[in-house]
A = this chain, B = another copy of it.
Amino acid sequence: MKKNKPKYHQIIDAAVIAIAENGYHQAQVSKIARQAGVADGTIYLYFKNKEDILISLFQEKMGTFVEKTSENIQTKSKAADQLRLLVENHFTLLTEDPHLAVVTQLELRQSNKELRLKINEVLKSYLLLIDQILQHGINSGEFRDSLNIRLARQMIFGTIDEMITTWVMNDQKYDLAASAQEAAEMLLNGFSMKKE
């Protein structure tokens, strides 16, 4: 299994840096190789092609994130708290790795449709996690019965994504994590029982 060898991760981390520093289209395989301290050809011993590096990058980083977040939210019993934690975890992840933030929010989106479809495949587990929280909230009576889960999920993901992208575009110069609670509250407000 290639994934267990140190060079596999070495190359992925090099790709994150190379893309963040040079931009998607200027991050040639040779630059990634140089950043990783290996020869160009070595890349192809660990990855099928350039696209494979990018998908693997996303899988490794996002996959790990979803797993951890999934575990984290099990510690909370209320859906509201779970959502709060999810937003916070997401913001914290990218705040702690500025290169990764640039890569996922700006650079990787320049990839072609085919690659983006594969990235979406990876994102599905994240969207599923959101769905679980929403379903749990409906079951527990925190959210209203009539909540359209697909719509709510798109609102959550769209909001988080837009917030992060704006923050990255502004050179990450303000404290993103500080807005996590407020964003969660506003979302939750939209999902709650109608007041009469």
Contacts and interface: CB of A to CB of B under 8 A. Distances in A.
Nearest to A169: B120
B112 A24 contact: yes
Interface string A94-135: 000000000000110111110011001000000000000000
Contact of A23 (B110, B113, B154): B113
A158 B164 CA distance: 10
Most B CB atoms within 10 A — which of A23, A111, A116, A189?
A: A189
A109 B109 contact: yes
A124 B144 CA distance: 34
Contacts of A160: 158
A190 interface: yes
A162 interface: yes
A157 interface: yes
Contacts of A162: 154-155, 157-158, 161-162
Nearest to A120: B169
A96 to B, nearest CB: 21
Interface in A129-181: 148, 151-152, 154-155, 157-163, 166, 169, 179
Given A155-B159, A159-B159, A189-B189, A113 B106 contact: yes
A119 B121 CA distance: 27
Contact of A155 (B24, B110, B148, B183): B183
A117 B169 CA distance: 8
5 contacts: A109-B109, A109-B110, A151-B179, A151-B186, A189-B190
Interface of A: 23-25, 106-107, 109-113, 116-117, 120, 148, 151-152, 154-155, 157-163, 166, 169, 179, 182-183, 186-187, 189-196
